[in-house]
Amino acid sequence: MDAAEFRRRGKEMVDYVADYLEKIEERPVYPDLEPGYLRDLIPTEAPCEPESFEDLMQDVERVIMPGITHWHSPNFFAYFPAASSYPAMLADMLCGAIGCIGFSWAASPACTELETVMLDWLGKMLQLPECFIAGTHGHGGGVIQSTASEATLMSLLAARCKAVRRVQAVESERSESDVLSKLVAYTSDQAHSSVERAALIGAVMMRKVPTDEHFAVREEMLKKMVEEDKAAGLIPFYFCATLGTTPSCAFDHITKLGPLCNKENMWMHIDAAYAGSAFICPEFRPLLNGIEYADSFNFNPHKWLLINFDCSTMWVKKRTDIIGHWQIPLGRRFRSLKMWFVFRLYGLKGLQAHIRKQVALAKEFESLVQADNRFEICAEVILGLVCFRLKGSNELNQNLLKRITKSREIHLVPCQLSGRFVLRFAICARTTESRHIQRAWRHITQLAFELLQDLH
Ligand code: PLP
């Protein structure tokens, strides 16, 4: 493909993408396929001779599209959102064209410098304390990671290093392996599985802190565990708090947990993978109160801030704590371009409007559930996630979800809350409107009606 053909195909591709997104609602949101469907649809080996672009694009519709779960369909309500916007897609195109591998300043100064400034811009939108902002003289600052899982791992490794150094500064005879074997990290029993995996990779013990009736960690519970562990000769060194848990969007009490961690010399990392985007709205910013006690903080603009995957932003209070643990890969894409495009073309107001609209849609769905006494709400609706279920057994709700999934009209996933099987309804696509919420609810109640009829 030469430049002339690229110009032509590029324009065709933009049309294909725009058509796909404009008409996405016409496609079933969830594929109707069995695992292994794809292998039989394409040759067993790569072609020897070049093929035509037309043939390739035909195969996108024949082979790929039937196997896509359409995350950007307004009928998609599963997991958490995957952010997407036209400005971010355009920036990604430019990123591909520049194609630098930004592992050092010299490897592309703009790549390194724009990232630092974008993290400051975003940090200021979130009203992060000054100590997290790099500016020109700050000790803190931010970095883009690929995922929240990586950010958690980086924070845990940095905390581990710091803890070993601290213990050895007092007890110089203690070996590193001895200290490591005594380190203990904590997180909520509602935390994402990536937190436990970070401890596994970091080869340290991790204990799960039980949560209260709102699925949040309270200071007393962590304090009790820390005291028990210290009495047993262990060294508590790290706590990963969650703001907006995956199952129910619960918020750990960081205003109380933070001082405890500071007092005990424990690194506090905050995982706000989904909820973090909402903190750009003044009315949701109080949910981040207590951030001043944290050593590191992370959330995923690629979930809810209209910046396509991957863009997970992490800030630390002291850059010197994390040098050597900034990231796993050496090479990095020019991801801050997507932030720059989105921030400039939406403006803070546009981004706030997006968050507010989606929270309002979740509230609308919550009201529909509350108005139907066959159903119940299972956790407080704070942002864009509604946890609900039919009053009755887990089996009943599993059957309802099976019917919903099979219909392929809307897509949801479940969670477990206190042993109960619960349906999660997350407002995801940028184009979801009230009519999609109303339609989804009609669909759910129709399927529930049929299910209850079949049981009688
Ligand atoms: N933390 C929380 C609270 C999440 O909800 C999720 C994913 O939904 C993750 C971490 C993992 O995110 P990532 O895929 O960016 O690692």
Query: Is residue 187 lining ligand 1, measured as CB closer than 6 Å?
Result: no
Query: In terms of C-beta density within 10 A (0-12 exposed, 13-18 middle, 19 or more buried), how is residue 13 classed?
Result: middle
Query: Is residue 192 lining ligand 1, measured as CB closer than 6 Å?
Result: yes
The predicted-structure confidence for 79-109, as pLDDT tens digits, reads as follows: 999 999 999 999 999 999 999 998 889 999 9
Query: Is residue 182 lining ligand 1, measured as CB closer than 6 Å?
Result: no
State the pairing for strand pair 385-390/375-377.
Answer: antiparallel
Residue 336 — very low, low, confident or very high, per pLDDT cuts 50/70/90?
very high
The alpha carbon of 44 and the centre of ligand 1 are apart by a number of angstroms equal to 35
Query: Is residue 252 lining ligand 1, measured as CB closer than 6 Å?
Result: no
- The pLDDT assigned to 322 comes to 81
Structure tokens at 53: 């672009």
Query: Is residue 146 lining ligand 1, measured as CB closer than 6 Å?
Result: no
3-state helix, strand, coil in the chain (%, to 5): 50, 15, 35
Name 439's Cβ contacts closer than 8 Å, sequence gap at least 6.
Answer: 75
Residue 306 Rama label (left phi>0; alpha psi -120 to 50; beta) = left
Query: Is residue 149 lining ligand 1, measured as CB closer than 6 Å?
Result: yes
Query: Is residue 313 lining ligand 1, measured as CB closer than 6 Å?
Result: no
Is the Cβ–Cβ distance between 381 and 420 less than 8 Å?
Answer: no
- The pLDDT assigned to 323 comes to 73
- The pLDDT assigned to 36 comes to 96
Query: Is residue 194 lining ligand 1, measured as CB closer than 6 Å?
Result: yes
The fraction of the chain above a pLDDT of 70, given in percent, is: 100
By C-alpha distance, which of 197, 308, 300 is closest to 243?
A: 300
The predicted-structure confidence for 96-147, as pLDDT tens digits, reads as follows: 999 999 888 999 999 999 999 999 999 999 999 999 998 877 788 899 999 9
Average pLDDT, whole number, for the chain?
96
Query: Is residue 196 lining ligand 1, measured as CB closer than 6 Å?
Result: no
- The pLDDT assigned to 141 comes to 87
The predicted-structure confidence for 277-317, as pLDDT tens digits, reads as follows: 999 999 999 999 999 999 999 999 999 999 999 999 999 99
* pLDDT over 80 (residue 31): yes
Give the position, in ligand 1's atom list, of the atom nearest the Cα of 302. Answer: 15
Structure tokens at 75: 């009928």
Nearest residue (by CA) to ligand 1, atom 12, is: 148
- The pLDDT assigned to 33 comes to 94
The predicted-structure confidence for 9-29, as pLDDT tens digits, reads as follows: 999 999 999 999 999 999 999
Nearest residue (by CA) to ligand 1, atom 14, is: 147
Q: Is the dihedral of CA 122, 302, 77, 377 positive or negative?
A: negative
Give the position, in ligand 1's atom list, of the atom nearest the Cα of 275. Answer: 3
Tell me which of 71, 149, 302 to substitute to probe ligand 1's pocket, judged by most ligand atoms within 8 Å of the beta carbon.
Answer: 149
- The pLDDT assigned to 330 comes to 85
Name 134's Cβ contacts closer than 8 Å, sequence gap at least 6.
Answer: 116, 119, 120, 140, 141, 142, 319
Tell me which of 194, 299, 415 to substitute to probe ligand 1's pocket, judged by most ligand atoms within 8 Å of the beta carbon.
Answer: 194
